[in-house]
Amino acid sequence: MEIKVLDQAYNPLLKRKEVKVEVTHSRAGTPDRFMIRKELASRLNVKLDNLYVVDMETRTGMERTRCDVEVYDAPENARKVVPSYIIVRNKPPEERKKQAKPAEAPKKPEKKEEKPAEVKKEEKKPPEPKKEERKPPQLKKEEKKPTEAKK
């Protein structure tokens, strides 16, 4: 897996560096976000908590993936700005599975109180009126306005 930095820009408002990267993965599938994240963290000399892979795009049949990466100055800034679903996507697969299982556990089937079924009376519908044959609309001749008399 080779990583090539295409573009870098610093965003002072959000206190982060926005990096565009191209990952070449010959004879292998698209690498997962966590692998790219670890590799970039070691290459850019930043902590893993400060770096997030926001977007990955691989075209069909290509062995290259373009990634948008955000490198924050502090992990507190990252927690304020990065959406929670991106944070979850950037975690290792084992940790993601652990978070998914507790979320499913509290869901227990609730016991519903059984109510006696109400008997509904069938309402009689009034008979539908017969459809009349439609006649084409008759065009009215335009009435001519009387011309004003000349003075």
85 lies in some domain = yes
128 lies in some domain = no
107 lies in some domain = no
Q: What average pLDDT does this structure show over 113-142? A: 64
Enclosing domain of residue 46 = 2-102
48 lies in some domain = yes
Judge residue 122's burial from the number of C-beta atoms within 10 Å of its C-beta, 0-12 exposed, 13-18 middle, 19 or more buried.
exposed
Number of domains in the chain: 1
pLDDT in tens, 31-84: 889 999 999 999 999 999 999 999 999 988 888 999 999 999 999 999 999 999
131 lies in some domain = no
134 lies in some domain = no
Q: Which two tokens stand for residue 49?
A: 């908590």
51 lies in some domain = yes
